[in-house]
Chain A
């Protein structure tokens, strides 16, 4: 099936009380909480693995003059030490996956420069510290702001880096009300619980990697390129994944190293990144500098919107943060401009992190909207309502669905938005209290995906696809879809994911996982229903499936009785014309209440609500988990999360979870998310849209806007740490004092 036509009525529409949508508990939940679900590093499929520990560069730029691994080679238990001097030949870089140990050049601090393989983890780690490296140091560039003048127009990825419509400069200059502000966002790290980890083993010229990876088919192709093998000789298995958030879209050094070393020593090798290594040896979200200009008339109707973004990545890579892409579709204005520029720095590779583009773009843009509303004396919701577009303002096509205004209205009602006061006007003891809101929007993509289903002789159903569940609940929603389509109870459905031996699937990323994989399964089940109807002698159109049976007007049969030696069906979904003829986004609205300590400048979230639309909700519980998880990411982005770059050494200073502050439970006292009813018949046959990233989009901006409402202080440099708030409090107080005197 390809999505060239809107979807008509489907079996999922027929049963509003069916399995799909229900808040079913995770089907693999018991395995996980009892420790019986093996994650990559724990897999016992490959016997007697040796342990690899990565050696990292201690400088950010320069070259290795000499590397002395003699002491490491002599250390207890050491089997093999791989450096650029003895690393096996490798093929070409593919996607963002590169060969390792190609030569003596150092491109960033923490770059993997060797692997020590030993009998035990402890031996490998101790020996890795014995590798002595003599460096020739060179001056590096680590500062995006300093690199802005030389920033380039990045290569086009999915959409062009620049866009313009009408005459922005002219319209902006002529606007009655103008806003021209710059926001900065810092480097962030994914901080998923499970680090990158791989066990690799060879049989002849075929390698199997038990690894923690979000997109197995893409990883298979890129690893095959790096290992110089045909793709079919590379098998990736990822049954359970402890979070990814984009860090595991591509295989990292653990996978390449494990595969190379295992081949050399003729024995499986397992490699994991340490938590500290995750910061430099994996990927990061780039820092950004963003300029937003808004021009409106006195009533708040936007005439001109410009959003420009600068980001950086490592030398030789093309990734850029698409911060302004969402701005192209958000609000109406006849004159528009967006631009992305890329600087190459001597820092680790930048890549996708939960909602690449929107997550940081909306931190800037949705605060700029708040600033404009305040300048105009308008309610921020009203400003957005006045600029609600009737179609996508740049693509000039209709939205498949767009319920931004209903989300804002419903959220305002539920949150008590009317209690919001003037900036700095509400106090609760030592706390300055403020409310803020922001819109949420996230592109809804569909990726090619396929699935097989097999009705077994015993009447159970086996689903197979190379899809992954990165902790989002994919196993569960797929079981629900299969269950509702076939009328089989969940306990008779077996979902087998995470293996490139299975039909190719989209994997988990970009909020497309559930829609893409779920649709492939839907199509496969649809075909199975047709086959079963034929076998039962029931007209397919009149067949219904429930309680393990197929029923028509005159007869019915148990599926188990029709299964024979088993019935197989396959399904495939592809994007079609509808993602060009319609603009497809998930939407929502965030509402946050914060307290700001009037003495210390500490900001604490008090409560938060997100109201979203995401087409059909496949599982009320896992959907809500995704939404609130994204919102918590947003709270972290607003208030605490920053990978600090030492501008002298190119080192990420706070490279552990003690000093890189993700929110802890105490930071999230009261948080809720809800969904408005919606079906999107242009998105996919499930009529669902992506939710994995929507929750983060705009969430941090709502928090930052609440900080402003609490204090009257506008901080445009994320995160809003207490030192920045304190500066504002002191300035405000000294201003008040000088006004008094």
Chain B
């Protein structure tokens, strides 16, 4: 860990201003990801801005009938919130599928949105990584890339977003609320929040310098069966190889509406609205999978690469749709 200065601002505005002023500043909340990365010097911020004491830990009802989740609401608390459990089941399930009890007690909603990839080579500072060190190359390409992206990858980066929560947030059309250095508020739809790697994999979100996440707004609940299916290498405490967040509502024997998002496939949670339409139109999971996985390409790599994720995602979607539509 490199030496850094530490600030504990008293207000949201001050936090954002400090972050814009100080070069290479990072906000810290739960620290469950950032501190690990700092120990390895994958992250080397000059200033840490501790936001834990800011008044951002409330879960409130919105006038539209949705929920406004404060940036500092811990993952465990969010998963246990009665309205989340009752009306946003896909989110509660996704949260509980993530990490471990101890980590969920610390990790925050905003921190989870900003969780960084688990690419092995990103973590290994002896290897090139365009995300860690822009322009240095990508060791995952041609390396051991079993956990890497099959959709939306670029020649610069094939990393995935490891979050479970983000996948559910994407299915629910969450909106990220922020405050900028001048105190200006902004709302960013989740679909636009996370980016594909392109030529700048180090830029992972739409956030501007100094911009602080204050809350995540959930629109009013989506009717239907809420499911989150996480496929993983062990029963707990493992990142998703593939995951599917789904909210599926039946009208009689037909699928009336569907929300489908995938984790583990791309640099961002992967949702293709056309796939949902295909499911509604045909009632067939495979039709939805065809649309959702269009253009999916496996990486060649040691140990067989990651092409298996494509049939795995299809099969997982099939299973989820079958579960959701079972009479």
Contacts and interface: CB of A to CB of B under 8 A. Distances in A.
B235 A659 contact: no
Given A722-B241, A726-B311, 4 more contacts: A602-B231, A651-B124, A654-B144, A661-B233
Given A600-B312, A644-B303, A664 B144 contact: no
Contact of B233 (A109, A126, A721): A721
B167 to A, nearest CB: 16
Interface stretch (B21-29, B178-186, B207-215, B314-322): B314-322
B126 interface: yes
Interface-centre pick from A126, A723, A726 (highest chain B CB count, 10 A): A723
B302 interface: yes
Interface string A698-736: 000000000000000000000001110011001000000
B304 interface: yes
Nearest to A186: B303
Contacts of B2: 126, 129
B308 interface: yes
A161 to B, nearest CB: 29
A651 B236 contact: no
B234 A664 contact: yes
Given A648-B142, A651-B126, A663 B1 contact: no
Interface in A645-694: 646-649, 651, 653-656, 658-659, 661, 663-667
Given A666-B234, A722-B241, A126 B3 contact: yes
Interface in B208-261: 231-239, 241-242
Nearest to B2: A126
A309 interface: no
Interface in A88-130: 109, 122, 125-126, 129
Interface of A: 58-59, 76, 109, 122, 125-126, 129, 276, 430, 599-602, 604, 639-640, 644, 646-649, 651, 653-656, 658-659, 661, 663-667, 721-723, 726-727, 730
Interface string B261-302: 000000000000000000000000000000000000000001
Interface string B88-124: 0000000000000000000000000000001011011
A59 B124 CA distance: 12
Interface residues of B, number: 39
6 contacts: A122-B1, A644-B302, A646-B139, A659-B118, A667-B235, A730-B311
Q: State the 10 A-B residue pairs at the shortest beta-carbon distance, nearest first.
A: A666-B235, A666-B236, A58-B126, A599-B319, A723-B308, A600-B231, A653-B120, A599-B315, A653-B144, A667-B235
Nearest to B3: A126
Contacts of A726: 308, 311-312, 315
B236 A723 contact: no
A670 to B, nearest CB: 13
Contacts of B195: none
A129 B41 contact: yes
A640 to B, nearest CB: 5
A665 B234 CA distance: 10
Given A129-B41, A600-B315, A722 B231 contact: yes
B308 A599 contact: no
B40 interface: yes
Given A126-B3, A599-B318, A646-B143, A276 B40 contact: yes
B321 to A, nearest CB: 11
Contacts of A664: 234-237
A258 B118 CA distance: 33
A288 B1 CA distance: 37
Contacts of A727: 308
B83 interface: no
B123 A656 contact: yes
Contacts of A666: 234-237
Interface in B1-32: 1-3
Contacts of B239: 658
Nearest to B303: A644
B233 A640 contact: yes
Contacts of B241: 722-723
Nearest to A640: B234
Contacts of A723: 146, 241, 304, 308, 312
Contacts of A430: 319
Nearest to B229: A600
A671 B119 CA distance: 34
Contacts of B124: 651, 653, 655
B144 A665 contact: no
A648 B121 CA distance: 13
Contacts of A122: 1
A661 B231 CA distance: 15
B230 to A, nearest CB: 10
Contact of A599 (B121, B127, B304, B316): B316
Contacts of A655: 124
Contacts of A600: 231, 242, 312, 315-316, 319
A444 to B, nearest CB: 33
Nearest to A662: B234
A138 to B, nearest CB: 16
A648 B139 CA distance: 10
Nearest to A668: B235
Contact of B236 (A646, A653, A656, A667): A667
A666 B237 CA distance: 9
A271 B237 CA distance: 29
A667 B234 contact: yes
B118 A651 contact: no
B162 to A, nearest CB: 10
A261 B226 CA distance: 60
Contacts of B146: 723
A210 B121 CA distance: 35
Contacts of B126: 58-59, 109, 651
A292 to B, nearest CB: 23
Nearest to B120: A653
A722 B233 contact: yes
B315 A649 contact: no
A646 B302 contact: yes
Contacts of A126: 1-3
A667 B235 CA distance: 5
A125 B233 contact: no
A430 B231 CA distance: 13
Interface-centre pick from A76, A604, A722 (highest chain B CB count, 10 A): A722
A13 to B, nearest CB: 45
A661 B236 CA distance: 10
